Chain A
Amino acid sequence: MNKHIEIKVCTGTGGIAAGGLEVLERFQTCIEQAGLKAKTLTGCLTHRVGCRGLCARDVLVDVIIDDQKFTYQYIKPDMVERIVEEHIINGNPVSEWLVTEDYLSFYNKQQKVVLAMCGEIDPEDIESYISHQGYRAIEKVIKGMSPEEVIDEIKRSGLRGRGGAGFPTGLKWEMARNAPGDEKYIICNADEGDPGAFMDRAVIEGNPHAVIEGMLIGGYAIGAKRGYVYIRAEYPLAVERLKKAIEQARHKGYLGERIFGTDFGFDIKIKLGAGAFVCGEETALIASIEGKRGMPRAKPPFPVQKGLFGKPTVINNVETLANIPSIIIKGADWFASFGTEKSKGTKIFALTGKVKNTGLIEVPLGITLREIIYEIGGGIEGDRRLKAVQTGGPSGGCIPASMIDIPVDYESLARAGSIMGSGGMIILDETDCMVNVAKYFLQFTQSESCGKCVPCRIGTKRLLEILERITSGRGKEEDLKKLEKLSNDIKASSLCGLGQTAPNPVLSTLQYFRDEYEAHIFEKRCPAGVCRDLLTYTILEEFCKGCGMCLKVCPSGAIIGEKKKPHKIIPEVCIKCGACFEVCKFKAIKRG
């Protein structure tokens, strides 16, 4: 009796960091060795698969025997032998390593459209994609739809750009189609620069062909023969898988001349980003592909009129493009059945920060933040109190815990002072200082500002200086007003999206967490205990057992005391690193 056995090992960046490749290799050798003994193992398949979301529990392994699927979590190479022996050969799953119930609750509220195949198919094998209806959408389009019909279908689906701003994709395509000119381009923006976001990386690592197929359909619709993928060099695995996928697609005839025997020809080139956040802005990205400094220019003309090499150009985000094939196959109505009236479909978020289940999630738009944090995310780490949700990265804002019942859609997030953004969602708890968070983002935008326009170049620098002053205890009363005025000026007068949104983290924290700013300025106190200059460490004599742990870890020699007697911190020598606070088992060190 030959059983059908399949083993799927997560080898996204998270999976590999946790040892995914070693686990895969171990499975292969264990099965090969065991195969000599047990005939049931011939024909056993081991696969690499892309990210399935819950990277915090990597390495995740699926063992599928006939149609029975078991998923293991936190698997290390030395655990493989036992799984092969007990589960695969003898048919008894190793119950203590299987995923627990809360693993399932991570998935219950999710709706996988773009990520449906991530974690199922082998991203390095085009046949695996084809066997899941891959390249059927482009076939349907080329053989039976006019470009106008394709655009109409996308328009009807209500798909909006997933890169952040939410511009209707069908409309963008139509504008490019109608722009005069024989030569047009489609660019896939995979320069995922928002810190705290990794949706695009996961999509390309897990299902690169969907992005290629989306570009093909877009190219057909707007009349482009060439596409570019502008991808971050910081994502080596995604780049490698995309390269492989493009080669395979060329080999199969899905890219190149005369696709499906028609006159339509299309090919894709990869351009590696060289590390500049501003290149997420469309005109800056175009300058970078042309080999120049990635600086934005004034719009109009918009890229759909005058883009790459001066030709009409559509720029779509990775996730937007990966949505296209399913819309074509399953129809606009199917896609529009997910989401809210103005925000259709699903959205991928990188759920990170102080939440229990960190990872990649895909949810129908309109879901509440509460559902995301407490049902999918499993609540806050260490059961601490939720303080805020940061969305939209450096261009977004912080939504306070009191507002987590708002639906996640483009309009509601904007009304709350944040933006949808590309999908970073960072959960902050009571131990996070909101002034520090604002300062963090300003450090980022200030150093990433390209310097072309004055409000952004100098304005962000001044904003940062004020925030640094406040967090170091030198804040003045008038600083709050200055922050507000300067923020609004920068928003109103900057050239591109980077500057226009850079003050958002400041404005939203000022709006919802003004009391924290005031505590820093008037009481010279950081309520969350983060801002170093405002902290003092003292030892509470009544709790100190004199164990000497703090003395040992103190890097500056600021702690003195005899063994078994209460110790003391010398304030002048203390560098406020907090090492003693963390190491004390008796809660004898007070931070305040």
Chain B
Amino acid sequence: MEDKLETIYKRFKENEGNLISILQDIQEEFGYLPEKAIYWFSEQLDVPPAMFYGIATFYSQFYLKPRGKNVITVCSGTACHVKGSEKLINSAIKELELPEDSNTTEDGLFTFEKVNCVGACSIAPVVIINKKVFGKMSAEKLVKELREIKKNE
């Protein structure tokens, strides 16, 4: 871990980075923000860990816990909302059997999230499964896709 953090630190120095870019780099490397990494940078830069925590919790992009192997994102922008994204959300939560207090399944296979808008409104409702964009999604199609992934795991 230390090596990777050193590289991020070097990049930060070279590119006149800031706390956000450090957090983005850490997340890019580890998939989330490990507590250890935050403390390491806190010491290097002499910035209290609370500063990092404040930023990480302000922006929706940062995750404090590891994410699932497959990431399912349902867009809940206005166009998707009026075209029934709520149904997609409900059927995904049911299909994945998400625990109440977390958006990642217990086996770590799936993370499910809603986002404000992915800007693909003309093909609403939109779901992104592992970075692939699916337009004009229906609850049946979504469940089918999810079962397909489960089968292959």
> A274 interface residue, CB < 8 Å from B?
yes
Complex Cα distance, B121 from A56, in Å, reads: 9
**Contact yes or no, A358 B121, CB < 8 A:** yes
**Contact yes or no, B77 A294, CB < 8 A:** no
**Contact yes or no, B54 A293, CB < 8 A:** yes
**Contact yes or no, B82 A353, CB < 8 A:** yes
Q: B21 contacts which chain A residues (CB < 8 A)?
A: 271, 291
**Contact yes or no, A193 B122, CB < 8 A:** no
> B9 interface residue, CB < 8 Å from A?
no
Q: B122 contacts which chain A residues (CB < 8 A)?
A: 14, 54-56, 198, 350-352, 358-360
Q: Which of A403-411, A424-432, A471-479, A566-574 contacts B (4 or more CB under 8 A)?
A: A424-432
**B window 85-140: CB within 8 A of A:** 87, 90, 94, 115-124, 126, 131, 133-135
Q: A437 contacts which chain B residues (CB < 8 A)?
A: 82
Q: B149 contacts which chain A residues (CB < 8 A)?
A: none
Q: Name the residue in A196, A276, A350 with the highest tally of chain B Cβ atoms < 10 Å from its Cβ.
A: A196
**Contact yes or no, A294 B59, CB < 8 A:** yes
Contact A201/B82 with A17-B135, A577-B90 known, Cβ cut-off 8 Å: no
Contact A14/B123 with A288-B20, A291-B18 known, Cβ cut-off 8 Å: yes
Q: Which of A198, A233, A428, A555 contacts B121 (CB 8 A)?
A: A198
> B60 interface residue, CB < 8 Å from A?
yes
Q: Which of B116, B118, B124 contacts A352 (CB 8 A)?
A: B124
**Contact yes or no, B121 A193, CB < 8 A:** no
**Contact yes or no, B19 A196, CB < 8 A:** no
**Contact yes or no, A428 B82, CB < 8 A:** yes
Q: Which of A56, A197, A577 contacts B123 (CB 8 A)?
A: A56
Closest chain-B Cβ to A45's Cβ sits at a distance in Å of 27
**Contact yes or no, B24 A274, CB < 8 A:** yes
Closest chain-A Cβ to B83's Cβ sits at a distance in Å of 8
> B7 interface residue, CB < 8 Å from A?
no
Complex Cα distance, B21 from A276, in Å, reads: 15
**Contact yes or no, A290 B54, CB < 8 A:** no
**Contact yes or no, B79 A352, CB < 8 A:** yes
Complex Cα distance, B135 from A277, in Å, reads: 23
> B64 interface residue, CB < 8 Å from A?
no
Mask for A180-193, Cβ within 8 A of B = 1, else 0? 00000000000011
Complex Cα distance, B54 from A441, in Å, reads: 26
Q: Which residue of B lies closest to A272 (CB)?
A: B24
Complex Cα distance, B120 from A273, in Å, reads: 18
Closest chain-B Cβ to A52's Cβ sits at a distance in Å of 12
**Contact yes or no, A352 B121, CB < 8 A:** yes
Q: Which residue of B lies closest to A433 (CB)?
A: B82
**Contact yes or no, A274 B62, CB < 8 A:** yes
**Contact yes or no, A13 B120, CB < 8 A:** yes
> A6 interface residue, CB < 8 Å from B?
no
**Contact yes or no, B61 A440, CB < 8 A:** no
Q: Which of B19, B82, B134 contacts A17 (CB 8 A)?
A: B134
Q: Which of B23, B79, B94 contacts A353 (CB 8 A)?
A: B79
Q: A288 contacts which chain B residues (CB < 8 A)?
A: 20
> B67 interface residue, CB < 8 Å from A?
no
**Contact yes or no, B117 A195, CB < 8 A:** yes
Contact A426/B62 with A13-B119, A55-B123 known, Cβ cut-off 8 Å: no
Complex Cα distance, B122 from A17, in Å, reads: 11
**Contact yes or no, A198 B120, CB < 8 A:** yes
Mask for B52-94, Cβ within 8 A of A = 1, else 0? 0011001111100000000000001111011100010010001
Closest chain-B Cβ to A490's Cβ sits at a distance in Å of 21
Q: How large is the interface on B (under 10, 10 to 19, 20 to 34, 35 or more residues)?
A: 35 or more
Complex Cα distance, B86 from A440, in Å, reads: 11
Q: Which residue of A lies closest to B76 (CB)?
A: A195
**Contact yes or no, B60 A275, CB < 8 A:** yes
Q: A319 contacts which chain B residues (CB < 8 A)?
A: none
Q: B58 contacts which chain A residues (CB < 8 A)?
A: 276, 293-294, 450
Q: Which of A192, A235, A393 contacts B78 (CB 8 A)?
A: A393
> A18 interface residue, CB < 8 Å from B?
yes
Q: B76 contacts which chain A residues (CB < 8 A)?
A: 195
Q: B94 contacts which chain A residues (CB < 8 A)?
A: 555
Q: B19 contacts which chain A residues (CB < 8 A)?
A: 291-292
**Contact yes or no, A195 B123, CB < 8 A:** no
Complex Cα distance, B60 from A28, in Å, reads: 40
Q: Which residue of B lies closest to A199 (CB)?
A: B119
Q: A58 contacts which chain B residues (CB < 8 A)?
A: 123
Q: B131 contacts which chain A residues (CB < 8 A)?
A: 236
**Contact yes or no, B20 A197, CB < 8 A:** no
Q: Which residue of A lies closest to B115 (CB)?
A: A234
Complex Cα distance, B27 from A431, in Å, reads: 42
Q: Which residue of A lies closest to B135 (CB)?
A: A17
**A window 263-285: CB within 8 A of B:** 271-277
**Contact yes or no, A196 B55, CB < 8 A:** no
Mask for B6-44, Cβ within 8 A of A = 1, else 0? 000000000001111101100000000000000000000
Contact A277/B116 with A18-B135, A233-B61 known, Cβ cut-off 8 Å: yes
Closest chain-B Cβ to A199's Cβ sits at a distance in Å of 9
> A209 interface residue, CB < 8 Å from B?
no
**Contact yes or no, A234 B118, CB < 8 A:** yes
Q: Which of A235, A432, A448 contacts B119 (CB 8 A)?
A: A235
Complex Cα distance, B60 from A193, in Å, reads: 12
Q: A275 contacts which chain B residues (CB < 8 A)?
A: 59-61
Q: B90 contacts which chain A residues (CB < 8 A)?
A: 577
Q: A201 contacts which chain B residues (CB < 8 A)?
A: 119
Q: Which residue of B lies closest to A354 (CB)?
A: B82
What are 21 pairs between A and B in contact, CB < 8 Å?
Answer: A14-B120, A17-B133, A17-B134, A194-B117, A197-B117, A197-B119, A197-B121, A234-B119, A235-B119, A272-B24, A274-B59, A274-B62, A276-B60, A291-B19, A291-B55, A292-B19, A353-B78, A358-B79, A393-B78, A426-B79, A426-B82
Q: Lowest 8 CB-CB distances: which A-B pairs, in order?
A: A291-B18, A198-B119, A196-B78, A195-B77, A274-B59, A275-B60, A352-B79, A17-B133
Taking A196-B77, A197-B119 as known contacts, 14 extra A-B pairs with beta carbons closer than 8 A to each other, sorted by chain A number, are: A14-B120, A197-B121, A234-B115, A234-B118, A276-B58, A277-B116, A288-B20, A291-B17, A291-B55, A292-B18, A294-B58, A353-B82, A358-B122, A424-B78
